[in-house]
Amino acid sequence: MDIFAQITQEISRVVLGKDLQVRQALCCLLARGHLLIEDVPGVGKTTLSQAFAKVTGLEYQRIQFTSDLLPSDILGVSVFDRNSSAFHFHPGPVFTQFLLVDEINRASPKTQSALLEAMAEKQVTVEGATRALPNPFFVMATQNPWFQSGTFPLPESQLDRFLMRISLGYPDEKSERRLLAGGDPRTIIGELSAMLSAEKIIGLQSMVDKVELRDSVLSYVQRLIAFSRQDSHYAFGLSTRAALALIQAAKAWAMLAGRDYVLPDDIQILLEPVAAHRLKPAADSQEDGPDLIKRLLSQVPVVV
Protein backbone atom coordinates (compact mmCIF):
# COMPACT_ATOMS: atom_id res chain seq x y z
CA MET A 1 0.00 0.00 0.00
CA ASP A 2 1.52 3.24 -1.03
CA ILE A 3 1.92 6.18 1.23
CA PHE A 4 -0.84 8.21 -0.33
CA ALA A 5 -3.39 5.54 0.26
CA GLN A 6 -2.20 5.33 3.85
CA ILE A 7 -2.63 9.07 4.28
CA THR A 8 -6.09 8.96 2.87
CA GLN A 9 -6.99 6.11 5.13
CA GLU A 10 -5.60 7.82 8.18
CA ILE A 11 -7.53 11.02 7.53
CA SER A 12 -10.69 9.12 6.82
CA ARG A 13 -10.69 8.08 10.42
CA VAL A 14 -11.72 11.66 11.20
CA VAL A 15 -13.28 12.98 7.99
CA LEU A 16 -15.48 10.41 6.38
CA GLY A 17 -16.10 10.03 2.63
CA LYS A 18 -13.88 12.90 1.56
CA ASP A 19 -11.21 10.92 -0.25
CA LEU A 20 -11.27 13.18 -3.27
CA GLN A 21 -10.77 16.32 -1.22
CA VAL A 22 -7.95 14.72 0.75
CA ARG A 23 -6.28 13.76 -2.48
CA GLN A 24 -6.77 17.26 -3.83
CA ALA A 25 -5.27 18.77 -0.70
CA LEU A 26 -2.30 16.45 -0.96
CA CYS A 27 -1.88 17.31 -4.60
CA CYS A 28 -1.94 20.97 -3.69
CA LEU A 29 0.72 20.49 -1.06
CA LEU A 30 2.99 18.54 -3.40
CA ALA A 31 2.53 21.11 -6.16
CA ARG A 32 3.79 23.79 -3.72
CA GLY A 33 0.46 25.53 -3.88
CA HIS A 34 -2.03 26.77 -1.33
CA LEU A 35 -5.50 25.49 -0.82
CA LEU A 36 -8.76 27.33 -0.32
CA ILE A 37 -11.70 25.39 1.01
CA GLU A 38 -14.99 27.12 0.51
CA ASP A 39 -18.15 25.87 2.01
CA VAL A 40 -20.93 26.60 4.40
CA PRO A 41 -20.05 26.32 8.11
CA GLY A 42 -20.27 22.97 9.78
CA VAL A 43 -19.35 20.53 7.06
CA GLY A 44 -15.90 19.75 8.41
CA LYS A 45 -13.58 22.25 6.82
CA THR A 46 -11.59 22.89 9.95
CA THR A 47 -11.64 19.27 11.00
CA LEU A 48 -10.26 18.21 7.66
CA SER A 49 -7.52 20.76 7.75
CA GLN A 50 -6.54 19.85 11.29
CA ALA A 51 -6.43 16.18 10.46
CA PHE A 52 -4.48 16.90 7.33
CA ALA A 53 -1.95 19.01 9.20
CA LYS A 54 -1.51 16.28 11.75
CA VAL A 55 -0.98 13.56 9.14
CA THR A 56 1.55 15.54 7.18
CA GLY A 57 3.63 15.88 10.29
CA LEU A 58 4.37 19.56 9.64
CA GLU A 59 4.75 22.34 12.18
CA TYR A 60 1.23 23.68 12.48
CA GLN A 61 -0.30 27.10 13.30
CA ARG A 62 -3.86 28.24 13.14
CA ILE A 63 -5.26 31.76 12.82
CA GLN A 64 -8.89 32.53 13.19
CA PHE A 65 -9.57 35.56 11.01
CA THR A 66 -11.89 38.17 12.41
CA SER A 67 -12.84 41.60 11.21
CA ASP A 68 -10.56 43.33 13.75
CA LEU A 69 -7.50 41.21 13.08
CA LEU A 70 -4.42 43.28 12.20
CA PRO A 71 -1.54 42.39 9.89
CA SER A 72 0.87 42.34 12.80
CA ASP A 73 -1.27 39.67 14.45
CA ILE A 74 -0.25 37.41 11.59
CA LEU A 75 3.24 38.50 10.72
CA GLY A 76 4.62 39.27 14.16
CA VAL A 77 5.84 42.37 15.89
CA SER A 78 9.07 43.82 17.42
CA VAL A 79 8.92 44.25 21.14
CA PHE A 80 11.34 46.38 23.22
CA ASP A 81 13.35 44.24 25.60
CA ARG A 82 14.31 46.29 28.62
CA ASN A 83 17.11 43.96 29.63
CA SER A 84 19.01 44.23 26.38
CA SER A 85 17.63 47.70 25.53
CA ALA A 86 16.83 46.49 22.04
CA PHE A 87 13.84 45.55 19.91
CA HIS A 88 13.29 41.88 19.50
CA PHE A 89 11.15 40.46 16.76
CA HIS A 90 8.41 38.16 17.93
CA PRO A 91 7.42 36.10 14.90
CA GLY A 92 3.72 35.82 14.25
CA PRO A 93 1.84 32.63 13.54
CA VAL A 94 2.72 32.87 9.84
CA PHE A 95 6.19 31.54 10.62
CA THR A 96 5.20 27.95 10.41
CA GLN A 97 5.18 25.10 7.88
CA PHE A 98 1.48 24.51 7.82
CA LEU A 99 -0.74 27.56 8.31
CA LEU A 100 -4.41 27.11 8.73
CA VAL A 101 -6.33 30.31 8.09
CA ASP A 102 -9.87 29.94 9.28
CA GLU A 103 -12.58 32.04 7.69
CA ILE A 104 -10.19 34.09 5.64
CA ASN A 105 -12.92 36.28 4.22
CA ARG A 106 -13.92 37.60 7.64
CA ALA A 107 -10.81 39.75 7.96
CA SER A 108 -10.43 43.18 6.44
CA PRO A 109 -8.71 43.47 3.08
CA LYS A 110 -5.68 45.00 4.76
CA THR A 111 -5.09 41.89 6.81
CA GLN A 112 -5.92 39.62 3.90
CA SER A 113 -3.27 41.25 1.80
CA ALA A 114 -0.69 40.87 4.54
CA LEU A 115 -0.99 37.18 3.87
CA LEU A 116 -0.55 37.83 0.17
CA GLU A 117 3.19 38.37 0.16
CA ALA A 118 3.72 35.43 2.44
CA MET A 119 1.80 33.09 0.15
CA ALA A 120 3.33 34.28 -3.11
CA GLU A 121 6.95 34.85 -2.09
CA LYS A 122 7.27 32.48 0.85
CA GLN A 123 8.78 35.40 2.81
CA VAL A 124 7.47 38.32 4.85
CA THR A 125 8.73 41.86 5.24
CA VAL A 126 8.18 43.29 8.67
CA GLU A 127 9.56 46.64 9.72
CA GLY A 128 11.86 46.83 6.74
CA ALA A 129 13.43 43.42 7.26
CA THR A 130 12.64 40.53 4.96
CA ARG A 131 12.35 37.21 6.69
CA ALA A 132 12.13 33.89 4.95
CA LEU A 133 9.36 31.53 5.86
CA PRO A 134 10.09 27.91 6.66
CA ASN A 135 10.13 25.31 3.90
CA PRO A 136 7.73 23.76 3.09
CA PHE A 137 5.18 26.51 3.56
CA PHE A 138 1.61 25.54 2.99
CA VAL A 139 -1.45 27.67 3.57
CA MET A 140 -4.80 26.06 3.87
CA ALA A 141 -7.60 28.60 4.15
CA THR A 142 -11.27 28.11 4.69
CA GLN A 143 -13.94 30.57 3.79
CA ASN A 144 -17.66 30.87 3.89
CA PRO A 145 -19.47 31.53 0.64
CA TRP A 146 -19.33 35.26 -0.09
CA PHE A 147 -23.06 35.71 0.15
CA GLN A 148 -23.01 34.99 3.87
CA SER A 149 -23.12 37.99 6.16
CA GLY A 150 -19.99 39.60 7.57
CA THR A 151 -17.61 38.67 4.80
CA PHE A 152 -15.08 40.61 2.72
CA PRO A 153 -14.89 38.80 -0.59
CA LEU A 154 -11.33 37.99 -1.58
CA PRO A 155 -10.14 40.08 -4.51
CA GLU A 156 -9.23 38.29 -7.73
CA SER A 157 -5.54 38.86 -7.15
CA GLN A 158 -5.69 37.05 -3.86
CA LEU A 159 -7.87 34.26 -5.14
CA ASP A 160 -5.24 33.75 -7.80
CA ARG A 161 -2.64 32.95 -5.09
CA PHE A 162 -4.52 29.80 -4.23
CA LEU A 163 -3.59 26.93 -6.45
CA MET A 164 -6.94 25.29 -5.87
CA ARG A 165 -10.26 26.09 -4.44
CA ILE A 166 -12.29 23.11 -3.37
CA SER A 167 -15.48 22.60 -1.52
CA LEU A 168 -16.41 19.75 0.74
CA GLY A 169 -20.12 19.48 0.33
CA TYR A 170 -22.39 17.63 2.67
CA PRO A 171 -21.25 14.12 3.53
CA ASP A 172 -23.10 11.24 1.94
CA GLU A 173 -25.80 9.51 3.96
CA LYS A 174 -23.69 6.57 5.09
CA SER A 175 -20.74 8.65 6.24
CA GLU A 176 -22.99 11.11 7.99
CA ARG A 177 -24.74 8.32 9.87
CA ARG A 178 -21.44 6.94 11.05
CA LEU A 179 -20.41 10.44 12.09
CA LEU A 180 -23.59 11.06 14.03
CA ALA A 181 -23.48 7.65 15.71
CA GLY A 182 -19.78 7.74 16.56
CA GLY A 183 -19.66 11.06 18.41
CA ASP A 184 -17.37 14.00 17.76
CA PRO A 185 -14.48 12.81 15.59
CA ARG A 186 -12.39 15.80 16.61
CA THR A 187 -11.53 14.07 19.83
CA ILE A 188 -9.42 11.55 17.95
CA ILE A 189 -7.47 14.07 15.87
CA GLY A 190 -4.74 13.93 18.45
CA GLU A 191 -4.46 10.22 18.01
CA LEU A 192 -3.61 10.48 14.30
CA SER A 193 -0.05 9.63 13.43
CA ALA A 194 2.15 11.62 11.12
CA MET A 195 2.70 9.77 7.89
CA LEU A 196 4.95 12.41 6.31
CA SER A 197 7.58 14.87 7.39
CA ALA A 198 9.01 18.15 6.08
CA GLU A 199 11.93 16.32 4.46
CA LYS A 200 9.70 13.74 2.85
CA ILE A 201 7.44 16.45 1.49
CA ILE A 202 10.35 18.41 0.02
CA GLY A 203 11.54 15.22 -1.62
CA LEU A 204 8.11 14.51 -3.09
CA GLN A 205 7.83 18.09 -4.30
CA SER A 206 11.03 17.75 -6.27
CA MET A 207 9.76 14.46 -7.68
CA VAL A 208 6.69 16.28 -8.97
CA ASP A 209 8.96 18.51 -11.04
CA LYS A 210 10.31 15.45 -12.82
CA VAL A 211 6.91 14.26 -14.01
CA GLU A 212 6.80 14.39 -17.82
CA LEU A 213 4.44 16.64 -19.70
CA ARG A 214 4.11 15.64 -23.35
CA ASP A 215 3.49 18.06 -26.19
CA SER A 216 0.01 16.74 -26.82
CA VAL A 217 -1.06 17.51 -23.25
CA LEU A 218 0.63 20.89 -23.33
CA SER A 219 -1.29 21.67 -26.53
CA TYR A 220 -4.47 20.64 -24.78
CA VAL A 221 -3.77 23.11 -21.97
CA GLN A 222 -3.08 25.80 -24.50
CA ARG A 223 -6.31 25.02 -26.33
CA LEU A 224 -8.17 25.30 -23.04
CA ILE A 225 -6.80 28.71 -22.13
CA ALA A 226 -7.16 29.94 -25.71
CA PHE A 227 -10.80 28.87 -25.72
CA SER A 228 -11.46 30.67 -22.41
CA ARG A 229 -9.98 33.82 -23.93
CA GLN A 230 -11.93 33.67 -27.18
CA ASP A 231 -15.30 32.43 -26.08
CA SER A 232 -17.85 35.10 -25.31
CA HIS A 233 -19.13 33.43 -22.16
CA TYR A 234 -16.07 34.38 -20.15
CA ALA A 235 -15.49 37.85 -18.73
CA PHE A 236 -11.77 37.27 -19.11
CA GLY A 237 -9.68 34.31 -20.10
CA LEU A 238 -7.39 32.17 -17.97
CA SER A 239 -4.05 33.74 -17.16
CA THR A 240 -0.67 32.25 -17.83
CA ARG A 241 -0.31 31.70 -14.08
CA ALA A 242 -3.52 29.72 -14.18
CA ALA A 243 -2.08 27.51 -16.91
CA LEU A 244 1.14 27.07 -14.97
CA ALA A 245 -0.87 26.16 -11.89
CA LEU A 246 -2.89 23.68 -13.88
CA ILE A 247 0.24 22.00 -15.21
CA GLN A 248 1.92 21.90 -11.79
CA ALA A 249 -1.17 20.47 -10.16
CA ALA A 250 -1.59 17.93 -12.94
CA LYS A 251 1.96 16.75 -12.44
CA ALA A 252 1.36 16.28 -8.74
CA TRP A 253 -1.86 14.49 -9.51
CA ALA A 254 -0.10 12.19 -11.95
CA MET A 255 2.47 11.38 -9.33
CA LEU A 256 -0.23 10.63 -6.81
CA ALA A 257 -1.62 8.20 -9.38
CA GLY A 258 1.78 6.55 -9.66
CA ARG A 259 2.58 7.84 -13.10
CA ASP A 260 5.57 9.80 -14.28
CA TYR A 261 3.64 11.47 -17.12
CA VAL A 262 0.57 13.67 -17.27
CA LEU A 263 -2.61 12.50 -18.98
CA PRO A 264 -5.28 14.82 -20.35
CA ASP A 265 -7.49 13.15 -17.78
CA ASP A 266 -5.39 14.74 -15.02
CA ILE A 267 -5.93 18.14 -16.58
CA GLN A 268 -9.66 17.53 -16.79
CA ILE A 269 -10.00 16.38 -13.19
CA LEU A 270 -8.06 19.36 -11.90
CA LEU A 271 -9.61 21.98 -14.18
CA GLU A 272 -12.45 22.79 -11.82
CA PRO A 273 -10.46 23.11 -8.57
CA VAL A 274 -7.65 25.00 -10.29
CA ALA A 275 -9.56 27.19 -12.74
CA ALA A 276 -13.07 27.74 -11.40
CA HIS A 277 -12.09 30.49 -8.96
CA ARG A 278 -10.09 32.26 -11.67
CA LEU A 279 -12.93 32.47 -14.16
CA LYS A 280 -15.77 34.93 -14.19
CA PRO A 281 -18.80 34.71 -16.43
CA ALA A 282 -19.31 37.50 -18.92
CA ALA A 283 -21.79 40.15 -17.84
CA ASP A 284 -24.53 38.84 -20.12
CA SER A 285 -23.87 35.19 -19.42
CA GLN A 286 -26.23 33.20 -17.24
CA GLU A 287 -23.62 30.61 -16.39
CA ASP A 288 -21.62 30.38 -13.18
CA GLY A 289 -18.27 28.82 -12.33
CA PRO A 290 -19.06 25.10 -12.70
CA ASP A 291 -20.95 25.71 -15.96
CA LEU A 292 -17.98 27.59 -17.33
CA ILE A 293 -15.72 24.67 -16.51
CA LYS A 294 -18.13 22.21 -18.09
CA ARG A 295 -18.16 24.36 -21.17
CA LEU A 296 -14.40 24.23 -21.40
CA LEU A 297 -14.36 20.48 -20.90
CA SER A 298 -17.01 19.75 -23.47
CA GLN A 299 -16.01 22.22 -26.18
CA VAL A 300 -12.27 21.86 -26.34
CA PRO A 301 -11.10 18.79 -28.23
CA VAL A 302 -8.70 16.60 -26.29
CA VAL A 303 -7.01 14.83 -29.18
CA VAL A 304 -6.48 16.54 -32.48
Partner 1 sequence: MNAAENRHAVIWLLLAQLFAILPLVAVLPFWIVAVWFAAAWWYWRILTFGWSFPIGPIKGLLAIAATIAVYLSFSSLFAIEAMVAVLVLALILKLLELKSERDHWLVLMLSYFVVACGLLFSQQIVDVVVSLLQVAVLLIAQQALNRDKTSAVTMLRSVSLMGLQSIPLMLLLFVIFPRIGPLWTMPLPGGEGKVGMSDSLEFGDIAKLSQSGELAFRVRFEGDLPNLETLYWRGLVLDQFDGRRWSRNAWPARNKIPSPVIAEPKIKYTVTLESGPHEWLYALPLADINRADIYYSAQHQWLSKRPISGRVEYTASSNFAQKLDDSAASQRQNLQLGSRSDNAQARALASTWQDTLADPNDRVAAAIRFFETTPFVYTLTPPILGQNNVDEFLFTTRQGYCEHFAGSFVFLMRAAGVPSRIVVGYQGGEFNKRDGYLLVHQSDAHAWAEVWLDDRGWVRVDPTATVAPSRIRLGAEALLSRQSGYLKDSPMSLRRFEWANRLRYFVDNMNYAWARWVLNFDSDTQNSFLRGVLGEISPQRMLIAVAFVGGLPLAVVAFFSLRLPRRHSDDVPARYYLNSCRALTRRGCARKTGETPEDFLARVNIEQPCWGAWLSMQTQRFSACSYLPKDSASYQDNLRQLRRHQSPRKWLDLRKIDE
Reduce the DSSP state of residue 65 to 3 states and report it: coil
How far is the CA of 278 from the CAs of 68, 228, 290, in angstroms? 28, 11, 12
CB of 254 to partner 1, least distance (A): 10
Of the candidate residues 86, 129, 283, 303, the single one contacting partner 1 (CB under 8 A): 303
CB of 251 to partner 1, least distance (A): 13
Of the candidate residues 42, 128, 190, 301, the single one contacting partner 1 (CB under 8 A): 301
Residues in 238-297 that interact with partner 1 by CB under 8 A: 261, 263-265, 268, 296-297
300 binds partner 1 (CB under 8 A): yes
Residues 34-50 as b/e (b if ≥16 CB within 10 A, e otherwise) read bbbbbbeeebbbbbbbb
216 binds partner 1 (CB under 8 A): yes
In whole angstroms, give the CA distance from residue 142 to residue 137.
17
Q: How far is Cα of residue 252 from the mean position of the Cα atoms in its chain?
A: 13
In whole angstroms, give the CA distance from residue 7 to residue 24.
12
CB of 281 to partner 1, least distance (A): 19
Ranges assigned E (strand) in 50-97? 60-64, 76-81, 86-91
CB of 200 or CB of 223, closer to partner 1: 223
Binding mask 182-211 for partner 1 (x = CB under 8 A): ------------------------------
212 binds partner 1 (CB under 8 A): yes
Going by C-alpha positions, the residue among 300, 276, 275 that lies closest to residue 219 is 300
CB of 20 or CB of 297, closer to partner 1: 297
Residues at the contact surface with partner 1, assessed by CB under 8 A:
212, 214-216, 261, 263-265, 268, 296-304
